[in-house]
Amino acid sequence: MRSILKSNQNNHKISLIIAAAGLGTRFSSEKPKQYFKIDNQTILEKTLSIFRNISEIKKIIIPLHKNDKEFKQLDLPDDLNIVTVTGGETRAESVIQALKLINEDDYVIVHDAVRPFIDESDIHFLIEQFENQNEDCLVYGLPVYESLKNINRETLFVKKSVDRNDFYLAQTPQIAKAKLLESSLEICLKENFIPSDESEAIEHSGGTVRFIPGKRKNIKVTVFEDVRNFNKLQEKVGLGFDSHRFKEGEYLILGGIKVPFNKSFDAHSDGDIIFHSIVDAMLGSIGDGDIGKHFPNTPEWQDVEGCKLFEITNNLLAKKGFKIIQVDIVVILEKPKLNKYRAKIIKNLSKILKLNEENIGLKAKTSEKMGFIGNNDGAAAQTIIKISR
């Protein structure tokens, strides 16, 4: 393919393709990695925000997987001209679908949806360099710093050490002429050659590719370790309380365990003050009312077990991206004494809350013969909970 010379006048329209049709199977997440959150913002949102002030870019096309259900939920800036298309089975097919919406005389920048750490200044520099040079594709990349080995893929034995100074690692963004990139990708697909990126397609089709030295922070998020150090842990705490009077009975339900006693809780549900205070604390930690708001004294919740209320509330936390990491519980009652049941209650809480026992505090206190608890008319529980996202 003959290299296409570009005008030195900065008058070309520029479109941007954000490659976002992948499923990210190596990331070990329930969602595609572009929808994983860093500092309460998805990776894709973070990536798009970089291009918000690049005035040269007139249109953004985002190929999405055919089963994508997350994109419509994003909070995207209104001032970005974004169009989505259904991607193909490969990156090359997805980019071709996007190119159909771009004028063939435009320049096109292709960037990975999961490279959220590129600098705005690097985008401007890429455009400036491409306007004034004659390569068919300009690419950000890095030298190889570690020793480089040619290996047997199956056994991982080293065949030969390779001179790392002869190699660069290709990054994105990459810039090319739209018409040239589209024809290069079509040639590759026609020859059943699957390029790993746009620069390889242009190279394979006879075009010229040049590197601009990139930055190591411009990583492509591939596995969870890639974002571990960038993601700031968000933690919240909640305080919960519950109390019930006694009535005649044979046992108390505490933390899902039957504790023998000559009374039981007089309650609409099972009266489990431990689980009720945990649920109350969970709702407080996310600012969503209290246990009475969510589980009122209606027939629906008659005799319901406390662990069931926990399960429902825990699903509510999970939808917001939170999980429990620690609880500390104080049970206030005169009788019965809980020392002999403490280990059993903690073990049951550990199983249901999915917490290590060392992250569960359980203490029993009396009220020194004061009030309705001191008169052995009832009991109460208070819980502090810590959640994280």
Q: Which whole-number Å values give the CA distances from 388 to 101, 236, 311, in the listed order?
A: 42, 6, 17
C-beta separation of 338 from 345 below 8 A: yes
Q: What is the pLDDT of residue 9?
A: 44
Residue linked to tokens 């006694």? 246
Q: Which value, in Å, is the radius of gyration of the alpha carbons in the chain?
A: 30
What residue ranges define each of the domains in the chain, with the CATH number in brackets? Answer: 14-228 (3.90.550.10), 235-388 (3.30.1330.50)
Residue linked to tokens 């390029």? 195
C-beta separation of 238 from 285 below 8 A: yes
C-beta separation of 206 from 1 below 8 A: yes
Please state, for a pLDDT cut of 90, what percent of the chain lies above it. 71
Q: Is 201 helix (H, G, I), strand (E, B) or coil?
A: helix
Listed residue (304, 364, 363, 354) closest to 334, CA to CA: 364
pLDDT (tens digit, 9 = 90+) per residue, 289-310? 999 899 988 998 888 999 999 9
**pLDDT over 60 at 7, yes or no:** no
Q: What is the pLDDT of residue 260?
A: 94
Residue range 29-50: mean pLDDT, rounded: 84
Return all residues near 224 (Cβ < 8 A) that are at least 6 apart: 27, 28, 29
Query: Does an H or E element contain 314, and which?
Result: helix 306-319
- Tokens read off for 308: 């069931």
Residue range 180-201: mean pLDDT, rounded: 96
> In degrees to the nearest 10, what's the CA dihedral of 167, 170, 176, 182?
100
- Confidence band of 90 (pLDDT split at 50, 70, 90): very high
pLDDT (tens digit, 9 = 90+) per residue, 225-280? 766 656 556 789 999 999 999 999 999 999 999 999 999 999 888 999 999 999 99
Alpha-carbon distance of 140 to 120, in angstroms, equals 13
Mean pLDDT of the residues in the chain? 89
- Tokens read off for 154: 């199956």
Residue range 119-144: mean pLDDT, rounded: 93
Q: What is the pLDDT of residue 30?
A: 64
In this structure, what DSSP letter does residue 42 have? Answer: E
Q: Order of strands across the sheet with 235-248?
A: 263-266, 235-248, 378-388, 323-332, 360-365
- Confidence band of 134 (pLDDT split at 50, 70, 90): confident
Q: Is 387 helix (H, G, I), strand (E, B) or coil?
A: strand
Listed residue (203, 169, 168) closest to 187, CA to CA: 203
In this structure, what DSSP letter does residue 168 have? Answer: E
C-beta separation of 106 from 13 below 8 A: yes
- Tokens read off for 256: 């899902």
